[in-house]
């Protein structure tokens, strides 16, 4: 019997979320089929890759990353170099140095620093927080003000601070925000409902559903992403139709496989190659499960994942 | 003269003043002179918001004023009062704007703030939107005395309310030494009533910035301020016509006006409130605007944390022992009328802890009275049950039991740190106000330690408990309007949905219908949502179209349909946290129920864990069902298959737990006495053969029932 293809495209679709301005602006989401199901219907906006740097510099404890940024000394230079990485669609800045336990840089100084980065690059910006909920609310407000008109995405608004982040970043200054939850479809949906009840348009919201490095409970991530995408498309649940953005690098560069030295584990081979493999495999898995954007660090990972996306589209 | 006429007269007055000021400014500066408020992208924002006009010159301002006048209609209708009132606010903006036409800094060198910049609107807007600032008050004109003015301002400050001052009250604040300015949240706006133009300008810009309301959409602006801006006005006697007109505008925007002026004033429920006693202004105002102040800190001399929840206080470490089994002790939550509850009042009736013998017994009752617009007496037991965890979190306090069988121990260390009876009140007040913010407006705690009064009070409390129990017992699936779902467990059992009904509580045993109802009201976006029951399919099995739709929705499509009362036809699924599992025992045509605590084998040849692996995970397995212990005595238990008469086996401990209630149900359903004695347990049978023998010997009703298959 001949194979007859029945396209599985849905009447619902993922919201299209644009970040950045001008020629280099990017759009996440917008598709009405499952991830990479281009045989069902064309996917207009391919998944995007962000390159992550810290406000303390590049993550140079990995030799390959250090080599890539060699010669870039100031943060704006590092940012510019990151923005030129082949395959990079946007720049993600982690505000590590603003965390109270890690230097506690002031809100004003951090905003000025981020502004200097923004002035140095032309690709869209994603501002990751300091991982301190209270500080983030204050940081995002000031940075949103400093970067007015730049259309940046703030990661993330969480259950504890979504009110401040929504009001300050999305409402007062018209920026985009990411709603962060911990690998749970109901919590994700609840947060989206709460944020939209604040008066933030659903089109201004992305979701960071959380992640895990491959092998570290990734099954939960995969099934959560899967369920979110199928609720969004098959059930037309508009509180789950936000595009998904997943910070991968912060998960993978801390696990044992990426950091233990070759001296300690001679059978495992060079540490850097392992880290890159972790980053690539986790990113690929996230994309296959439904991420519309992933955030990575290593130039080799960025090159490989960008080729993967190009080949699958 | 009526209230309407006062509004119309006041608005005409404001208009006349605006026209005079504008004419003077034009003759001085010319029509084409630029008209720009400093540091704003929203022009004259009241006019821009309500009329959609971008005023940039004095000439354009004159055109706008003409349009404002056309809004000041004077028919004896509420609508005219509203449009005239908002017209008055716009005219006020015109008067203030003429000052800015002459210089961008007309208030320099004065105590007044004047116009707010866009940056200030955003700075104030963010905490207003997040409710970190619960609201703001506009205080107009001097209070009867300086002391009253200072007390009022400080009272609002203490509650985090942003304060704007207009007119003579500013001088009172200055004399009273109140520090003022944007950062301390007390802003002296201007000396005259037209300074309200600046405040309304701020409100309308907030609507444009945070609400993306389109300029010119009059109704959208009033709607936005009504729903999103928690403001209100306090106007002191004597209130002039022009202030009354501004009040009309405030009410049109959803901001109630509270005044102590009784002359020529007409109270309008929820909008214009006459409160002669200025010391009650704050409470009256907050209630009128429905503002709830968040309570975050607990004022007690010892620590409060979940870390202390499991703390055991031994006899030798104990200062007093409060024991409901020996003395008259109890806990009770009562919902009362607003006038019977004074917020944060804590009353100690009787001697304090230090008057009781060291290491000895103490009698104590805690009565918590709450008032709330959305409070329901069904929530009383829900709050009461939380006392246990609230009080246990206190360092040096151990709490067990509930109602009049409580047992509380206060440790020597807590006593020495200063813990006294009133601190029970502080803890409960803070926790109830913060956790049940959605339904509790006011909360008052009475601690009674006077033995003479306790006997009678305890009897009264028991009447209240009995009433509640009666209500619970009388509640059936048929008598309620709606059921609730519960998806609390979906984090680890993604496709499971519980349908919670009065006669079938959640399978974990922790969520009854009342709990689900309370959870829904307290957290409307939370895990429990209303499930209607309007379209029954089959009464016998408890199948409803609405329930099926809810199950499909909340399982994200994993489940199609469930029944509420059948174990064979689409039984309800289980997450994994069931208290008991019920499974068909084919030899007897009955069912065995095994509870989680029982580790032995059942006549089905399986243990609890083996049965659990077939039952959990949100999968429908006909013949197996997870459920709560309380469900066993329900008339709806296995109703489709003939009810509780199908139960042939239960572990002894479980039998003892449910004995009384199950016997009662059996008597009511079948007229059988001591039904539980006919049910086998692990001592008489662990296999089918011995089970059948036992059932035959006891004459168990299942033997006469139709085969299950």
Would you say how long chain A is, in residues? Answer: 313
Q: Which residue has the tokens 């036809």?
A: B569
Query: Taking a contact as any Cβ pair under 8 Å apart, which residues of chain B between 527 and 566 contact chain A?
Result: 527, 553, 556-557
| Of A101-105, B295-299, B500-504, the least confident | B295-299
Q: How far is CA A312 from CA A17, A39, B299, in A?
A: 22, 10, 61
CB burial class (10 A; 0-12, 13-18, 19+) of residue A135? Answer: buried
Q: Do residue A227 and residue B556 have CB atoms under 8 angstroms apart?
A: yes
Q: How far is A171 from chain B (nearest CA, A)?
A: 5
In chain B, what are the helix, strand and coil shares in percent, each to the nearest 5?
A: 45, 15, 40
CATH level 3 topology of B118-288? Rossmann fold (3.40.50)
Residue B471 has pLDDT above 70, yes or no: yes
Whole-angstrom distance, CA of residue B542 vs CA of residue B477: 10
- Give the contacts of B448 (CB within 8 A, at least 6 positions apart): B349, B350, B364, B365, B367, B454, B457
| pLDDT average, residue stretch B146-168 | 93
Rg for chain A (alpha carbons), in Å?
A: 19
Q: Do residue B487 and residue A186 have CB atoms under 8 angstroms apart?
A: yes
Whole-angstrom distance, CA of residue B533 vs CA of residue B637: 19
Whole-angstrom distance, CA of residue A222 vs CA of residue A229: 11
Q: Which residue has the tokens 């009666």?
A: B470
Greater model confidence, B490 or B38: B38
Q: How far is B253 from chain A (nearest CA, A)?
A: 19
Please name the residue of chain B whose CA is at the shortest distance from the CA of residue A137.
Answer: B126
Q: Which residue has the tokens 């009433």?
A: B467
Q: Do residue B494 and residue A227 have CB atoms under 8 angstroms apart?
A: yes
pLDDT score at B491? 67
Q: Which residue has the tokens 């429920």?
A: B269
Q: Do residue A167 and residue B129 have CB atoms under 8 angstroms apart?
A: yes
Q: How far is CA B14 from CA B5, B47, B97, B235, B601, in A?
A: 14, 15, 14, 17, 87
Q: How many CA atoms does the CB half-sphere of A96 hold within 13 Å? A: 12
Residue B568 has pLDDT above 90, yes or no: yes
Closest CA to B210 of B87, B116, B123, B93: B123
Q: H or E element: which one contains A116?
A: helix A107-120
pLDDT score at B24? 96
Spatial strand order of the sheet with B318-323 comes to B360-362, B318-323, B407-411, B397-400
Query: Taking a contact as any Cβ pair under 8 Å apart, which residues of chain A between 204 and 223 contact chain B?
Result: 223
Q: H or E element: which one contains B582?
A: strand B580-585
Q: Are B548 and B562 in contact (CB under 8 A)?
A: yes
Residue B385 has pLDDT above 90, yes or no: no
Q: How far is CA A30 from CA A14, A18, A42, A156, in A?
A: 5, 10, 10, 21
Q: Are A36 and A291 in contact (CB under 8 A)?
A: no
Q: Share the mean pLDDT of chain B.
A: 92
A202 interfaces chain B, CB cutoff of 8 Å: no
Reported as a single tens digit per residue, the pLDDT across A81-109 is 999 999 999 999 999 999 999 999 999 99
Chain centroid to Cα B598, Å, comes to 40
Reported as a single tens digit per residue, the pLDDT across B105-132 is 999 999 999 999 998 998 898 888 888 8
Q: H or E element: which one contains B333?
A: strand B330-335
Q: Testing the interface with B: which of A10, A138, A169, A171 to mutate, by most B Cβ within 10 A?
A: A171
Residue B297 has pLDDT above 90, yes or no: no
Residue B325 has pLDDT above 90, yes or no: no
Phi-psi map region of B422: left, alpha, beta (phi>0 left; psi -120 to 50 alpha): alpha
B211 interfaces chain A, CB cutoff of 8 Å: yes
| pLDDT average, residue stretch B382-387 | 86
pLDDT score at B225? 94
Whole-angstrom distance, CA of residue B578 vs CA of residue B596: 8
Which residue in the set B126, B131, B490 is minimally distant from A186, CB to CB? Answer: B490
pLDDT score at B578? 87
Closest CA to B406 of B395, B420, B392: B392
Q: Are A47 and A118 in contact (CB under 8 A)?
A: no
| pLDDT average, residue stretch B491-495 | 74
Q: Which residue has the tokens 């006697």?
A: B237
Backbone angles phi, psi at B605, to 5 degrees: 85, 10
- Per DSSP (E only), the strands in B103-226 are 136-140, 162-166, 186-190
Closest CA to B578 of B508, B483, B625, B489: B508
Q: Do residue B525 and residue A198 have CB atoms under 8 angstroms apart?
A: no
Q: Are A60 and A253 in contact (CB under 8 A)?
A: no
| Of A114-118, A119-123, B549-553, the least confident | B549-553
* Cβ–Cβ pairs < 8 A, chains A and B: 60
pLDDT score at B168? 96
Q: Share the mean pLDDT of chain A.
A: 94
| pLDDT average, residue stretch B629-639 | 92
Would you say how long chain B is, in residues? Answer: 709
The structure tokens listed for B335 are: 């919902």
Please list the residues that pair with B607 across neighbouring strands: B601
Residue B157 burial (CB count, 10 A): 15
The structure tokens listed for B380 are: 């009383």
**In chain B, % of residues over pLDDT 90:** 73
pLDDT confidence band for B473 (50 / 70 / 90): confident
Whole-angstrom distance, CA of residue A301 vs CA of residue A87: 10
B228 interfaces chain A, CB cutoff of 8 Å: yes
Reported as a single tens digit per residue, the pLDDT across A225-277 is 999 999 899 888 899 999 999 999 999 999 999 999 999 999 999 999 999 99
CATH of domain B482-704: 3.40.1470.10
pLDDT score at B1? 62
Residue A178 burial (CB count, 10 A): 28
pLDDT score at B405? 84
Q: Which chain A residues are Cβ-neighbours of B557 within 8 angstroms?
A: 230-231, 234-235
| Residue range B3-102 in CATH 1.10.8.190 | yes
Q: Is the previous residue joined to B372 through a cis bond, with omega within 30 degrees of 0?
A: no
Q: Do residue B126 and residue A164 have CB atoms under 8 angstroms apart?
A: yes
The helix-helix angle for A75-83 and A107-120 (nearest 10°) equals 40
Burial of B610-626, coded b for 16+ CB within 10 Å and e otherwise, reads ebbeebbbbebbebbbb
pLDDT score at A211? 93
Residue B311 has pLDDT above 90, yes or no: no
| pLDDT average, residue stretch B206-232 | 93
Looking at residue B403, what DSSP letter applies? G
Residue B121 burial (CB count, 10 A): 25
Whole-angstrom distance, CA of residue B227 vs CA of residue B557: 35
3-class DSSP assignment, residue B683:
coil
- Give the contacts of B375 (CB within 8 A, at least 6 positions apart): B335, B439, B440, B441
pLDDT score at B553? 87
Backbone angles phi, psi at B639, to 5 degrees: -55, -40
Reported as a single tens digit per residue, the pLDDT across B351-369 is 999 999 999 999 999 999 9
Please name the residue of chain A whose CA is at the shortest distance from the CA of residue B489.
Answer: A186
B122 interfaces chain A, CB cutoff of 8 Å: yes
Could you give the domains of chain A? 40-312 (3.20.20.20)
| pLDDT average, residue stretch B246-252 | 95
| pTM to 2 decimal places | 0.73
Q: Testing the interface with B: which of A168, A175, A217 to mutate, by most B Cβ within 10 A?
A: A168
CATH level 3 topology of B306-465? 3.30.1650
Residue B84 burial (CB count, 10 A): 28
Q: Testing the interface with A: which of B223, B525, B526 to mutate, by most A Cβ within 10 A?
A: B525
Q: Are B214 and B196 in contact (CB under 8 A)?
A: no
How many angstroms separate the most distant Cα atoms in chain A? 69
Q: Do residue A231 and residue B556 have CB atoms under 8 angstroms apart?
A: yes
Q: Are B499 and B546 in contact (CB under 8 A)?
A: no
Whole-angstrom distance, CA of residue B615 vs CA of residue B571: 10
Q: Are B322 and B407 in contact (CB under 8 A)?
A: yes
Q: Is the previous residue joined to B238 through a cis bond, with omega within 30 degrees of 0?
A: yes
Looking at residue A62, what DSSP letter applies? S
Spatial strand order of the sheet with B346-349 comes to B330-335, B365-371, B442-448, B346-349
The structure tokens listed for B663 are: 């016997």
pLDDT score at B335? 94
Which residue in the set B210, B228, B557 is minimally distant from A235, CB to CB? Answer: B557
**In chain B, % of residues over pLDDT 70:** 100
| pLDDT average, residue stretch B380-402 | 88
Q: Are A103 and A97 in contact (CB under 8 A)?
A: yes
Residue B650 has pLDDT above 80, yes or no: yes
Q: DSSP for B588-654, please give it.
A: TTEEEEEETT--SB-TTS-BHHHHHHHH-TT---TTEEEE-GGGGG-TTTTGGGTGGGGEEE--HHH
The structure tokens listed for B389 are: 């965890």
Q: Do residue B525 and residue A163 have CB atoms under 8 angstroms apart?
A: no
- Give the contacts of A13 (CB within 8 A, at least 6 positions apart): A29, A30, A31, A32, A233, A241
What residues does each domain of chain B span?
Answer: 3-102, 118-288, 306-465, 482-704
């Amino acid at each position: 019997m001949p194979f007859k293809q029945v396209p599985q495209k849905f009447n619902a679709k993922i919201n299209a979320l644009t970040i950045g301005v001008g020629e280099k602006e990017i759009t996440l989401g917008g598709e009405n089929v499952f991830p990479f199901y281009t045989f069902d219907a064309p996917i207009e906006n391919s998944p995007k890759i962000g390159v992550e740097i810290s406000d303390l510099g590049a993550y140079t404890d990995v030799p390959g990353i250090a080599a890539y940024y060699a010669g870039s000394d100031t943060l704006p230079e590092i940012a510019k170099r990151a923005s030129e990485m082949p395959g990079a669609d946007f720049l993600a800045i982690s505000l590590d140095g603003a965390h109270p336990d890690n230097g506690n840089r002031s809100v004003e100084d951090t905003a000025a620093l981020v502004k200097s980065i923004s002035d140095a690059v032309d690709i869209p910006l994603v501002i990751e927080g300091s991982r301190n909920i209270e500080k983030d609310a204050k940081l995002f407000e000031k940075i949103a003000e400093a970067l007015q008109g730049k259309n940046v995405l703030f990661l993330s608004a969480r259950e504890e601070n979504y009110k401040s982040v929504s009001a300050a970043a999305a409402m007062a200054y018209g920026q985009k925000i990411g709603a962060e939850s911990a690998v749970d479809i109901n919590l994700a949906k609840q947060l989206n409902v709460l944020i939209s009840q604040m008066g933030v348009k659903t089109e201004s919201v992305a979701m960071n559903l959380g992640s895990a490095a491959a092998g570290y409970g990734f099954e939960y991530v995969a099934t959560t992403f899967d369920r979110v995408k199928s609720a969004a498309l098959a059930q037309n649940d508009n509180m789950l139709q936000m595009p998904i953005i997943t910070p991968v690098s912060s998960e993978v560069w801390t696990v044992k496989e990426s950091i233990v030295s070759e001296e300690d584990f001679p059978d495992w081979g060079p540490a850097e190659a392992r880290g890159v493999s972790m980053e690539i495999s986790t990113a690929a898995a996230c994309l296959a499960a439904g991420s519309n954007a992933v955030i990575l660090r290593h130039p080799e990972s960025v090159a490989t994942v960008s080729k993967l996306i190009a080949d699958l589209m | 003269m009526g209230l309407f006429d006062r509004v119309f007269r006041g608005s005409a007055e404001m208009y006349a003043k605006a026209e005079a000021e504008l004419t003077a400014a034009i003759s001085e500066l010319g029509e084409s002179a630029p008209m720009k408020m400093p540091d704003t992208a929203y022009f004259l924002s009241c006019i821009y918001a309500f009329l959609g006009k971008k005023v940039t010159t004095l000439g354009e301002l004159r055109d706008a004023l003409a349009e404002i006048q056309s809004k000041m209609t004077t028919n004896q209708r509420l609508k005219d009062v509203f449009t005239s009132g908002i017209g008055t606010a716009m005219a006020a903006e015109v008067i203030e704007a003429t000052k800015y036409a002459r210089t961008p800094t007309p208030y320099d060198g004065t105590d007044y703030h004047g116009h707010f910049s866009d940056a200030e609107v955003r700075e104030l807007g963010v905490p207003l939107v997040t409710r970190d600032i619960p609201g703001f008050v506009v205080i107009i004109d001097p209070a009867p005395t300086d002391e009253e003015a200072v007390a009022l301002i400080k009272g609002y400050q203490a509650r985090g309310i942003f304060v704007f001052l207009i007119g003579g009250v500013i001088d009172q604040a200055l004399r009273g030494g109140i520090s003022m300015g944007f950062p301390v949240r007390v802003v002296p706006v201007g000396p005259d009533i037209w300074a309200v133009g600046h405040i309304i300008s701020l409100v309308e810009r907030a609507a444009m910035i945070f609400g993306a309301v389109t300029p010119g959409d009059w109704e959208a602006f009033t709607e936005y301020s009504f729903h999103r801006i928690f403001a209100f006005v306090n106007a002191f006697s004597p209130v002039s016509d022009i202030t009354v007109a501004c009040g009309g505008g405030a009410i049109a925007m959803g901001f109630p006006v509270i005044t102590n002026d009784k002359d020529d004033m007409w109270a309008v429920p929820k909008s214009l409130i006459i409160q002669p006693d200025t010391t009650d202004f704050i409470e009256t105002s907050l209630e009128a605007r429905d503002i709830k102040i968040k309570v975050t800190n607990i004022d007690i001399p010892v620590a409060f944390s979940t870390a202390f929840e499991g703390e055991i206080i031994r006899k030798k470490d104990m200062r007093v022992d409060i024991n409901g089994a020996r003395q008259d002790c109890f806990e009770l939550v009562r919902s009362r009328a607003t006038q019977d509850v004074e917020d944060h009042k804590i009353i100690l009736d009787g001697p304090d802890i230090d008057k009781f013998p060291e290491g000895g017994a103490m009698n104590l009752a805690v009565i918590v009275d709450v008032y709330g617009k959305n409070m329901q007496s069904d929530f009383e037991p829900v709050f009461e049950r939380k006392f246990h965890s609230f009080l246990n979190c206190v360092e040096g306090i151990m709490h067990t039991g509930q109602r009049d069988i409580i047992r509380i121990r206060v440790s020597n260390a807590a006593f020495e740190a200063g813990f006294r009876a009133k601190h029970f009140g502080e803890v409960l007040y803070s926790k109830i106000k913060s956790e049940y913010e959605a339904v509790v407006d006011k909360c008052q705690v009475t601690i009674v330690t006077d033995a003479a009064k306790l006997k009678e009070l305890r009897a009264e409390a028991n009447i209240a408990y009995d009433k509640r129990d009666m209500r619970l017992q009388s509640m059936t699936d048929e008598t309620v309007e709606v059921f609730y779902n519960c998806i609390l467990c979906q984090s680890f059992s993604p496709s499971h949905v519980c349908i919670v009904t009065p006669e079938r509580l959640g399978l974990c045993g922790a969520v009854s219908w009342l709990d689900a109802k309370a959870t829904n009201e307290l957290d409307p976006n939370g895990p429990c949502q209303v499930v209607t029951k309007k379209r029954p399919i089959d009464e016998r099995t408890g199948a409803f179209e609405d329930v099926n739709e809810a199950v499909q929705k909340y399982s994200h499509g994993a489940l199609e349909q469930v029944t509420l009362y059948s174990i064979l036809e689409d039984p309800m699924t289980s997450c994994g946290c069931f208290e008991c599992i019920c499974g068909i025992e084919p030899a007897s045509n009955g069912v065995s129920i095994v509870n989680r605590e029982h580790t032995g084998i059942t006549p089905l040849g399986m243990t609890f864990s083996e049965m659990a692996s077939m039952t959990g995970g949100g999968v429908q397995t006909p013949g197996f069902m997870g459920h709560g212990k309380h469900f066993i005595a329900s008339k709806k238990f296995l109703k489709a298959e003939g009810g509780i008469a199908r139960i042939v086996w239960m572990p002894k401990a479980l039998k003892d737990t449910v004995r009384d209630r199950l016997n009662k149900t059996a008597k009511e359903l079948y007229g059988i006495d001591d039904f539980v004695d006919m049910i086998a347990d692990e001592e008489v049978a662990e296999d089918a053969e011995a089970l059948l023998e036992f059932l035959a010997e006891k004459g168990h009703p299942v033997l006469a029932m139709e085969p299950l298959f």
